[in-house]
């Protein structure tokens, strides 16, 4: 009875084990003490690939990849406390998979059994492997990073942004640069060593750049532990790691570069100072040479007008040619120096090509006729009559090339051909200019010497033909400044062809002015009108005073002379003059200051024409004189007939009157505005202030800041209804926007001239 009860209990217990095992996800294997499998659950059948019947014929050792059985020690441990271990099991198809085995010994009715719970750990092992590989990789990268971090030549500082930008790592180079130990820097903020640490705007800028782009670069100054300031190139990169925000700062010492930059800046300043000195020297030497040359040429012109013998006439004409040649050499040197300094103006204008060519050739026809040469020209009929380009510079190039062609040609001819080489319908006209001669030609090995400064082909040519060797160099620079190219084709003994290509836009035929606006053409060498012009001549150089006085007196003008500005003001205070000829460089008070004083003395409605007579001949001189209140300028040495023409034009010049009348009209607008708006006075003052600021910016070469001020000038002129000045201000604004500084300064000079006249009239009206 007892035995039956125990058997029933055992069967019940076994049923419970079977029920639990059948529904478990893990493999359940019930085996005897010898390892024979007595029972297996559904999971075992699924994982091993055997049927239940096949599995019950196997032992535990058959399922193990290595085929081994439990040892006695393992059996004892399993019976006592159970054991857990990892091993490899194999399936029916021979494939293996990793498993975790938990074995527990059981004693049923005095017999030993084993219950093994087997868990497939393939996925876990895969994850463990990947984790192990990842750890190995990151360990390698960390070691590599650490090696780079510590051995890189730049200083590196790692900051934790989430902890308030605290330093979490620094390399050796950063410690060396900042003269701190690693321990002294860890946990500190970078403001600890930054010079501009209190500049909150800078910190906001850095944070904004890192937020937008993830990177920030700049040059900054840091302070070392010993108080030494060092310039550094800083690069900051922001990144996220393990959900934490970091910033890696790279710092490079640029002390050496800064020293070189200072040397470069000093060298640049010295070069600029040398250029300024050179320009001043050229201006002075031009003045010193042109002043006596004016006396020489003037006296020759005056003497040629008197009764002379044929020999005397010939001698003086030769002397005049020599003086003109000397003047041409001086002009070449000045032009070349201006081009070297980048100060030569290229002004694009509307011009008639045929007229330019004919006027240019007319100069060379007499010399060509003397040598028995024919000189001709051809212009492609497909070229528009009017073009937009730089006529004065084109004339200068053609003059040089034609002069050389005539000079180096003893027989035959000189031709100028101009052909269009761009497509017919093109908006841009590409023209090929060719100056051909049948002269001495140039050997191929000598062509390299052409177009170089002060370079001539050989001594014999220098002695025979003369010249400075600057002509072709000037031609090359001028053509290149106009955006073209120039070259030569020549055969020794057969002649040369100098070619250059330039681009032009289509011009327009000028509209004829109304009849009333034509300036009367001066008629020279005719009877002087009943009332001769009264002219005040200001000139400090005695020889020039004598020459100019005789020129003017011979023409029938009444002349008073002054040696300096003080005498001019005294004479002007006692008498009214039709015109003043004003030398620029005079003792006590120069011509510019004298002009300013004269314009201040003049009342509204009165304007005495002033012509500057000057030996200054550099770029911008004329514009400067006009901006100071003068009406025209004539350079020394003064051509007598050119002087007469200038005087007649100036006295009858509607343009000068119109400029003054425009100022009067502007003044009336201002006076009317003044009655309507009391702010007109303050706006005039604001324009004056703006002009001062613009001039200050130009002196400092802060050209980029001029454009907004010019825009403000335009708005102020608009408020005051000064349309002419508003247009000038717009041109200033546009020129500086396009970085055309030279043109912008020209427009500014004209604006200042008109505004100064307007301001004086306005103040007098008040």
| pLDDT tens for each residue of 607-617 | 889 999 877 65
CB atoms within 10 A of CB 580: 25
Residue 158 scores a pLDDT above 60: yes
CA 233 to chain centre: 23
For residues 741, 743, 744, 745, the Cα torsion angle rounded to the nearest 10 degrees is: 90
pLDDT confidence band for 21 (50 / 70 / 90): low
Contact 619, 339 (CB under 8 A): no
For residues 714, 717, 721, 722, the Cα torsion angle rounded to the nearest 10 degrees is: -100
Six token digits for residue 699: 């002196």
CA distance 673 to 667: 10
Q: What are phi and psi of 644, to 5 degrees?
A: -60, -45
CA distance 193 to 172: 16
| SS3 assignment, position 182 | helix
Report the pLDDT value the prediction gives residue 487, as an integer from 0 to 100: 93
CB < 8 Å & 24+ apart, contacts of 677-681: 680/720, 681/766
- Considering only 137-146, 256-265, 269-278, 659-668, which range has the smallest mean pLDDT? 659-668
Percent of all residues in the chain with a pLDDT value above 70, rounded to a whole number: 78
Closest-CA residue to 167 (of 176, 175, 179, 158) = 158
CA distance 104 to 82: 4
Six token digits for residue 553: 């007196």
Q: Which residue has the tokens 């070349």?
A: 336
- Among 6-20, 68-82, 379-393, 595-609, the range with the most confident prediction by mean pLDDT is 379-393
Percent of all residues in the chain with a pLDDT value above 90, rounded to a whole number: 12
- Considering only 322-326, 520-524, 562-566, which range has the smallest mean pLDDT? 520-524
Q: What are phi and psi of 706, to 5 degrees?
A: -75, -35
529-559 pLDDT, tens per residue?
446 889 999 998 888 888 888 889 888 899 9
Contact 650, 609 (CB under 8 A): yes
Average pLDDT score over residue span 694-714: 80
- Among 280-284, 493-497, 757-761, the range with the most confident prediction by mean pLDDT is 493-497
458-515 pLDDT, tens per residue?
444 434 444 555 678 888 888 998 999 999 998 888 889 999 999 999 988 877 644 4
Mean pLDDT taken over the chain: 79
Average pLDDT score over residue span 270-279: 76
- Considering only 25-29, 272-276, 496-500, 528-532, which range has the smallest mean pLDDT? 528-532
Q: Decide: pTM greater than 0.75.
A: no
Radius of gyration over alpha carbons of the chain, in Å? 49
């Amino acid at each position: 009875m007892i035995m039956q009860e125990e058997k029933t209990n055992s069967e019940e217990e076994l049923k419970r084990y079977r029920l639990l095992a059948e529904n478990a996800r893990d493999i359940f294997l019930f085996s005897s003490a010898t390892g024979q499998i007595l029972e297996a659950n559904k999971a075992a059948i699924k994982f091993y690939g055997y049927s239940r019947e096949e599995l019950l014929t196997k032992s535990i050792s058959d399922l193990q990849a290595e085929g081994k059985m439990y040892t006695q020690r393992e059996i004892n441990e399993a019976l006592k406390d159970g054991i857990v271990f990892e091993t490899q099991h194999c399936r029916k198809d021979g494939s293996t998979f990793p498993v975790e085995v938990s074995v527990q010994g059981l004693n049923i009715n005095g017999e030993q059994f084993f219950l093994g719970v087997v868990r497939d750990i393939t996925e876990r092992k895969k994850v463990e492997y990947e984790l192990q590989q990842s750890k190995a990789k990151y360990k390698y990268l960390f070691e590599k990073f650490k090696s780079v971090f510590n051995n890189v030549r730049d200083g590196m500082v790692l900051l934790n942004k989430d902890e308030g930008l605290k330093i979490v790592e620094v390399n050796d180079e950063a410690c060396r640069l900042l003269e701190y130990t690693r321990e002294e820097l860890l946990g500190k903020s970078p403001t600890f060593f930054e010079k501009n640490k209190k500049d909150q705007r800078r910190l906001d800028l850095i944070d904004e750049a890192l937020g937008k782009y993830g990177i920030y670069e700049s040059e900054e100054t840091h302070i070392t532990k010993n108080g030494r300031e060092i310039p550094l190139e800083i690069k900051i990169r922001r990144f996220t790691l393990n959900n934490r925000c970091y910033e890696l700062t790279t710092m490079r010492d640029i002390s050496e570069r800064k020293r070189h930059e200072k040397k470069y800046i000093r060298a640049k300043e010295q070069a600029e100072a040398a250029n300024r000195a050179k320009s001043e020297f050229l201006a002075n030497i031009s003045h010193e040479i042109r002043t006596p040359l004016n006396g020489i040429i003037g006296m020759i012109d005056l003497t040629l007008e008197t009764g002379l013998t044929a020999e005397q006439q010939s001698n003086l004409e030769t002397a005049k040619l020599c003086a003109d040649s000397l003047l041409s050499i001086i002009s070449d040197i000045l032009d070349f120096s201006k081009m070297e300094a980048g100060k030569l103006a290229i002004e694009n204008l509307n011009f008639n090509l045929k007229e330019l060519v004919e006027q240019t050739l007319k100069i060379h026809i007499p010399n060509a006729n003397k040598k028995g040469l024919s000189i001709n020209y051809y212009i492609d009929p497909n070229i528009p009559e009017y073009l937009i380009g730089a006529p004065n510079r084109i004339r200068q190039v053609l003059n040089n090339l034609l002069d050389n062609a005539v000079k180096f040609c003893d027989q035959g001819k000189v031709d100028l051909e101009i052909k269009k080489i761009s497509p017919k319908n093109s908006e841009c006209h590409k023209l090929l200019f060719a100056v051909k001669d049948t002269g001495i030609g140039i050997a191929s090995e000598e062509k390299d010497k052409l177009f170089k400064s002060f370079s001539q082909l050989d001594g014999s040519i220098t002695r025979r033909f003369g010249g400075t060797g600057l002509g072709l160099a000037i031609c090359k620079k001028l053509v290149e400044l106009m955006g073209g190219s120039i070259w030569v084709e020549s055969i020794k003994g057969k002649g040369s062809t100098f070619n250059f290509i330039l681009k032009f836009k289509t011009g327009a035929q000028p509209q004829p002015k109304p009849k009333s606006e034509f300036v009367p053409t001066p008629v020279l060498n005719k009877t002087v009108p009943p009332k001769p012009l009264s002219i005040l001549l200001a000139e400090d150089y005695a020889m020039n005073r004598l020459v100019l006085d005789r020129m003017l007196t011979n023409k029938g003008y009444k002349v008073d002379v002054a040696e300096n500005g003080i005498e001019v003001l005294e004479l002007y205070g006692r008498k009214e003059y039709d015109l003043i000829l004003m030398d620029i460089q005079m003792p006590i008070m120069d011509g510019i200051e004298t002009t300013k004083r004269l314009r201040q003395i003049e009342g509204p409605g009165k304007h005495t024409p002033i012509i500057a007579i000057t030996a200054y001949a550099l770029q911008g001189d004329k514009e400067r004189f006009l901006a100071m209140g003068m009406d025209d300028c004539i350079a020394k040495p003064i051509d007598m007939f050119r002087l007469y023409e200038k005087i007649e034009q100036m006295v009858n010049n509607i343009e000068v009157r119109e400029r003054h009348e425009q100022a009067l009209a502007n003044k009336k607008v201002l006076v009317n505005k003044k009655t309507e708006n009391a702010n007109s006075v303050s706006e005039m003052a604001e324009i004056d202030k703006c002009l001062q600021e613009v001039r200050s910016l130009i002196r400092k070469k802060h050209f980029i800041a001029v454009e907004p001020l010019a825009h403000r000038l335009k708005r102020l002129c608009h408020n005051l209804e000064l349309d002419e000045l508003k247009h000038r201000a717009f041109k200033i604004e546009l020129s500086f926007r396009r970085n055309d500084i030279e043109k912008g300064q020209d427009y500014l000079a004209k604006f200042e001239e008109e505004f100064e006249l307007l301001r004086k009239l306005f103040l007098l009206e008040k």
